[in-house]
Amino acid sequence: MEINSIIHGDCIEELKKIPDDSIDLIFADPPYNMQLKNALYRPNNTKVDGVNDEWDKFASFSEYDDFCVLWLKECKRILKNTGSIWVIGSYHNIFRVGNIMLNLGFWILNDITWHKTNPMPNFMGTRFTNATETLLWCSKGEQFKKYTFNHKMMKKYNGGKQMTSVWKIGLCTGEERIKGEDGKKAHSTQKPEELLKRLILSTSKQGDIILDPFFGTGTTGAAAKKLKRSYIGIEKEENYISLAKKRIDAIENFFPEADWKEDER
């Protein structure tokens, strides 16, 4: 198991090769199964460049569920008893994912709300602006109580008050958003590094091994390197891998707060 590397291959097949009880932290950003059917236009008639990737297409709930059971089962197997797992999703998929995680025996520690400061409005006025995504933070099971949680660090990070389960963070835009050679966004769902920074700081220690089975353009790897953790990524698309490698290699500066003292254990 080579650390600080990106494995090219199918998520489930590659997860199967990872030894039992060997991973400290897992962050998973699986396909959401958005089920988009029609094009959406803004009031000024421009078309919304939505998620239309092949990797987000599933034939049915049942097919999506089967897929999630397989990768989540492997995640549980390879997670250390002191480890924990984060899974991000939207209302399209998080209720299916959450249900499966409970059935597999994961123990929910928090449901974190990523409150987006700049979400896309609802142009048609048919719903409330969908302004959140949900992160499920779970331990391996109810009986495993020694998961890492740097409570004091996060209290300091939050200006002296205990951090809550609502995280107000902007979308990944501007300089941070990885562009392809055509100048357009390379990945349709790149996450902001601040999101990864918070969960890595709070629920892992320096030197820990962080696994991301849906690595994409490597936000998890970038944040891990800046915070002095190791990472293992699994990604199916070579294009994403090459962009991720370039991105992570370019990192020389660390988050200035990376030397914050971790909670004693």
Q: List residues binding its own copies (CB under 8 A).
A: 61, 90-92, 94-99, 101-103, 108-113, 115, 119, 121-122, 125-132, 134, 136-137, 149, 151-152, 154-155, 162-166, 202
Which span (14-22, 184-192, 217-225, 237-245) binds DNA, by CB under 7 A? Answer: 184-192
Say which entry of its own copies, DNA, none residue 115 contacts (CB below 5 to 8 A, set by partner kind).
Answer: its own copies
Tokens of 194: 């601040």
State the nearest-atom distance from the C-beta of 204 to its own copies, in Å: 15
The binder of DNA chosen from 42, 66, 115, 242 (CB under 7 A): 42
Under rule CB under 7 A, residue 184 binds DNA = yes
In whole angstroms, give the CA distance from residue 176 to residue 31.
Answer: 21
Q: What's at 21, amino acid-wise?
A: D
C-alpha to C-alpha distance for 36 and 71, rounded to whole angstroms: 24
Distance in angstroms (rounded) separating the CA atoms of residues 133 and 156: 25
Binding to DNA in span 139-158, by CB under 7 A:
142, 145-146, 151-152, 155
Verify binding: residue 3, DNA, rule CB under 7 A.
no
Task: Tell me the chain's radius of gyration from C-alpha atoms.
Answer: 18
> To the nearest whole angstrom, how small is the minimum distance from the Cβ of residue 1 to DNA?
25
* Residue of 84, 150, 189, 217 that binds DNA (CB under 7 A): 189
Structure tokens at 134: 């949900």
Contacted entry of DNA, its own copies, none for residue 254, CB cut-off 5 to 8 Å set by kind: none
Query: What minimum distance in Å lies between the beta carbon of 219 and its own copies?
Result: 21
**Residue from 2, 19, 43, 59 binding DNA (CB under 7 A):** 43
- Taking the C-alpha atoms of residue 172 and residue 177, their distance in angstroms, rounded to an integer, is 6
Q: Which tokens belong to 240?
A: 């994403």
Specify whether the CB–CB gap between 209 and 24 falls below 8 A.
yes
Task: Please identify, using beta-carbon distances, which residue of 4 and 113 lies nearer to its own copies.
Answer: 113
Residue 131, contacted partner among DNA, its own copies, none, CB below 5-8 A by kind? its own copies
Contact between 48 and DNA (CB under 7 A)? yes
Nearer to its own copies (CB atom), residue 7 or residue 101: 101
- Least Å distance, CB 111 to its own copies, is 4
Q: Which amino acid is at 246?
A: K
User: Beta-carbon neighbour count of residue 114 at 10 Å?
Assistant: 21
Q: How far apart, in Å, are the Cα atoms of 82 and each of 25, 27, 180, 191?
A: 9, 15, 38, 26
CA angle, 88 then 90 then 95, to 5°? 90
User: Beta strand 132-139 with 107-116: parallel, antiparallel or unpaired?
Assistant: antiparallel
Nearer to its own copies, 5 or 109 (CB): 109
Provide the phi-psi class of 35: left if phi over 0, else alpha when psi is between -120 and 50, else beta. Answer: left
Interface with DNA by CB under 7 A: which residues?
Answer: 29-46, 48-51, 56, 90-92, 102, 107-109, 117-127, 129-130, 133, 142, 145-146, 151-152, 155, 161-162, 170-175, 177, 184-185, 188-190
